[in-house]
A and B are shown apart, each in its own frame.
Chain A
Amino acid sequence: MSLRIPCPTCGDRSVHEFVHGEIRRVPDHLTDPDERDLDFAFHHDNEEGVVTERWFHAQGCRRWFEIRRDTTTDRIVETEAS
């Protein structure tokens, strides 16, 4: 069974219909503008555990929405209400 993404408009659809979108956060402790730029351009939290992320239903309703997913199991723990 492949990963199904719960689109608030279209319901559960195969992950291949979507584009994954990371929510980029530059940590507050970085103050140097160059370091902040570098972090924004390249660095990732790459968290193990529940993350909040955006998905774009490219082959469906073409809307962005947020879900919370556990990256260690790929289980979707929270979805956006439609």
Chain B
Amino acid sequence: MNEFVERQMKLTWRPLKKSYDVVIVGAGGHGLATAYYLAARHGMSNVAVFERGYIGGGNSGRNTTIIRANYGIPAAVRFYQRSVDLYRGLEEETDRWLMHQAKGLLWMAHSEAAVRAEQMRAKLNTEFGAETEFVEPRQVQELCPQLDMSGGGRWPVLGASYHPQGATARHDRVVWALAEGAMERGAHVHQNTPVEGLVLDGERVAGVRTAAGDVAAGAVVSAVGGHVSRIAAMAGLRLPIRTHRLQAFVTNHYQQQFGPIVASSELFFYASQTARGEMLLGAEIDPQPSFSYRSSHDFVQDVCRRALCLLPFMSNLRVLRQWTGVCDMSPDYSPIMGQTGVDGFYLTTGWGTWGFKAIPAGGEQMAELIATGEVPELIAPFGLDRFARDRTMADRGSAGTH
């Protein structure tokens, strides 16, 4: 965070204490949201968030900021809808402008099979609380006049599921607002303080090890993105996680308004317009597990080729910036939240390519779990033990990145 932003925000950096009730590892969206809701909803402010870099500098600063709830399984629809609702009220709650804007999201179908899948998605979403309807090509064209409905002759738009609550928000405003809210209520955030190990007391996790010494904690929560396997190994856990890169890029300014967020799971890309007017494009994860932040030219080339089928106007734009995040992918494409079987150690991970939209609900539910000791109903299906119980939450088709 630069000095200008820091002057605008009421962030209070306090010295490190020797002991906290709760220590959260990772000051990204999920870590800060957990700290915020612990303080705001449960009056727990003896909380510290440890961050090896700066707040929001990991995947919270590298995503495509899409907020939606049109998932494919009931438990996920309910959970993400909670997040959509919390995001809508977050500006008022934190008294900060988060540039939250509902744009509507169109999920295209280019084949009979995809039409059926999107019709099913619309039904299932509506049934479990997320507003989605299947729209015919004529309505699709009205919602997004820039679309080439013939899909370049190869990918005709045969319909789409339309999710009016699909939205975007400014990613760093979200993390700053949550950091500010947590710090105002007494929580500590320690930047440039990597957690180097966990303090074990028998079988129990009792604190974290940093360069400034050991810090005791009643509970340790891992909210890291990209390196969760390393933290979990410190607690003796092996995780069903593989880390892959996800790339994205923006073009230069497009002078017209591009209304909705457009996604196509058959062409494997999604696009929206940023507040600056740039077209923001994302697509699939890189095929090999990797922790590298390098971006590649073939990604841009490939995504542009596919995007131009639907959005031919983009041929007049130029690619401005490209970046990469590293995503902890779970095998069933659903998050992993809750207790771990190791006393005093909690996880919120498996946020793969769908973490930003879940920041408020993930934080709220994790805070409730830690404060009350009981697993909230909303996240009970997403526990780490689901793999051993043969209750995986397979929802690959809703990730939009595969």
Residues of A bordering B, CB below 8 Å? 1-3, 14-16, 18-20, 22, 27, 34, 38-39, 41-48, 69, 71-74
Partner of B288, one of A20, A27, A43: A20
The answer on a CB contact under 8 Å between A3 and B241 is no
- Any chain A CB within 8 A of the CB of B229? yes
- Taking CB atoms, residues of chain A closer than 8 Å to B298 are 1-2, 14, 16
- Any chain A CB within 8 A of the CB of B101? no
The answer on a CB contact under 8 Å between B290 and A74 is yes
- Taking CB atoms, residues of chain B closer than 8 Å to A3 are 286, 288, 296
- Taking CB atoms, residues of chain A closer than 8 Å to B294 are 73-74
* Cα distance A18–B298 in the bound complex, in angstroms: 15
Partner of A20, one of B289, B292, B299: B289
Provided the pairs A1-B297, A2-B299 are in contact, do residues A71 and B291 lie with their beta carbons within 8 angstroms? yes
Min CB gap A8→B, angstroms: 18
The answer on a CB contact under 8 Å between B227 and A48 is yes
* Cα distance A60–B1 in the bound complex, in angstroms: 47
| Given A27-B238, A44-B229, A73-B294; 20 other pairs, CB 8 A cutoff | A3-B288, A3-B296, A16-B287, A16-B298, A18-B287, A20-B287, A20-B288, A42-B240, A42-B387, A43-B238, A44-B239, A44-B242, A44-B289, A46-B229, A47-B229, A48-B230, A71-B289, A72-B291, A73-B292, A74-B294
Chain A interface, DSSP helix/strand/loop, else mixed: loop
Mark out the residues of chain B between 275 and 334 whose CB falls within 8 Å of any chain A CB in the assembled complex. 286-292, 294, 296-299, 331
- Taking CB atoms, residues of chain A closer than 8 Å to B297 are 1-2
Beta-carbon nearest neighbor of B392 in chain A: A42
B interface bracket (residues with beta carbon within 8 Å of A)? 20 to 34
Q: What is the 8 Å Cβ interface bit string for chain B, positions 359-391, against chain A (1 contact, 0 not)?
A: 000000000000000000000000000011000
Partner of B296, one of A1, A20, A39, A46: A1
* Cα distance A74–B286 in the bound complex, in angstroms: 11
Beta-carbon nearest neighbor of A26 in chain B: B238
Residues of B bordering A, CB below 8 Å? 227, 229-230, 238-243, 286-292, 294, 296-299, 331, 387-388
Partner of A46, one of B239, B292, B299: B239
Min CB gap B328→A, angstroms: 8
* Cα distance A63–B387 in the bound complex, in angstroms: 32
* Cα distance A45–B239 in the bound complex, in angstroms: 8
Min CB gap A78→B, angstroms: 16
Beta-carbon nearest neighbor of B296 in chain A: A2
The 9 listed contacts between A and B (C-beta, < 8 Å) are A14-B298, A15-B286, A20-B289, A22-B242, A22-B289, A27-B238, A38-B388, A46-B229, A73-B294
